[in-house]
Amino acid sequence: MSAANTITYREAMREAIREALRRDDRVFLMGEDVGAYGGCFAVSLGLLEEFGPERVRDTPLSEAAFVGAGIGAALGGMRPIVEIMTVNFSLLALDQILNNAATLLHMSGGQLNVPLVIRMTTGAGRQLAAQHSHSLEGWYAHIPGLRILAPATVEDARGMLWPALEDPDPVLIFEHGSLYGVSGQPGPGQVDITSAALRRSGKDVTLIAYGGTTGKALAAADVLSAEGTEADVVDLRVLRPLDDATIMESVGRTHRAVIVDEGWRSGGLSAEIGIRIAEQAFYQLDAPIQRVCTAEVPIPYARHLEEAALPQVPSIVAAAREAVAS
């Protein structure tokens, strides 16, 4: 990989927004601290200067208001990109997202679609404590009417936004906070937003991950490879609708599955994936499905406790070993 072509995940996302703003004057970005400050995670740095305050709009601290206004603008023909600082704050806009954006098409008998993109940071690992570290993308993946994306690579960070804006229905993009500084190649610019991707091929076990845990799963695959176990790593990319085919194809070859999810285990996305494997590939399995999830506690603030609570490379390796051993 040529270093000259690499950019960070943050820059890739910024480039994607910039391209969208240039390409379509119906697109605008709106959210807390997105303008003068360049976003709390510096994604939109420089965009206010380039596009002006009409198209890069700093908002009051009113999540329900700016998501609701985004829905209104989308209904009126605009293509809003609404940034919610973190998934935790999206709870204040949950009524707008679930009861409005996701249901207006249905409630209008198909007359009103909502071409809205909502981006938000998700996940833990930055010592932000229990109220700022959730991984609730699995919840959103529960909701009919929404498309849920979880870019794990620089290429996906660069390429998912435009097709999301072209989607006539609301799309939520979850950006794991630990990824912004990760470097990689942005690729040609657009990617599909329908399928999962096989990030590494191996014959012994399938590691299924997404977003912030994809990198950890790949690192775990390296550790496993050194001890003679070759892992397939499936990056889900799209959490709703799930790409069952890619998952089942992989499990069909390896006969062992480890699901890695930074969400909680009980009632979570990992449970959904696990039951789909049981439904569709039960007779392919040679071992019980393993799950590596966040401990069933509010995310601790103290660094050592937080690290212990989250899926980590050693815990993924341990689960894979268990799957392979049985």
Residue numbers at the binding site for other proteins (CB under 8 A): 32-33, 36-38, 40, 58-65, 92, 127, 129, 131-132, 266, 295-298, 300-305, 308-309, 314-315, 318
Shortest distance in whole angstroms from residue 63 CB to other proteins:
8
d(CA 116, CA 270): 27
CA atoms within 13 A on the CB side of 97: 28
Shortest distance in whole angstroms from residue 296 CB to other proteins:
5
The neighbour count for residue 244, using CB atoms within 10 Å, is 15
What contacts 93, CB < 8 A, 6 or more positions away?
Answer: 63, 64, 66, 67, 68, 84
Instruction: Please identify, using beta-carbon distances, which residue of 34 and 248 lies nearer to other proteins.
Output: 34
CA-CA distances (angstroms) from residue 96 to 56, 66, 79, 118, 278? 21, 10, 17, 12, 35
Instruction: Please identify, using beta-carbon distances, which residue of 61 and 245 lies nearer to other proteins.
Output: 61
Instruction: Please identify, using beta-carbon distances, which residue of 217 and 234 lies nearer to other proteins.
Output: 217
Instruction: Please identify, using beta-carbon distances, which residue of 56 and 149 lies nearer to other proteins.
Output: 56
Longest dimension (CA), the chain: 59
Task: Give me the sheet containing 147-149, strands edge to edge.
Answer: 56-58, 27-31, 79-86, 117-122, 171-176, 147-149, 238-240
**Active-site pick, 132, 134, 176, 255:** 132
Shortest distance in whole angstroms from residue 40 CB to other proteins:
7
Instruction: Please identify, using beta-carbon distances, which residue of 33 and 169 lies nearer to other proteins.
Output: 33
**Active-site pick, 11, 32, 63, 272:** 63
Q: Report whether 317 contacts 287 (CB < 8 A).
A: no
Shortest distance in whole angstroms from residue 6 CB to other proteins:
25
Shortest distance in whole angstroms from residue 128 CB to other proteins:
8
Annotation says 63 is catalytic: yes
Q: Which residues are catalytic?
A: 63, 132
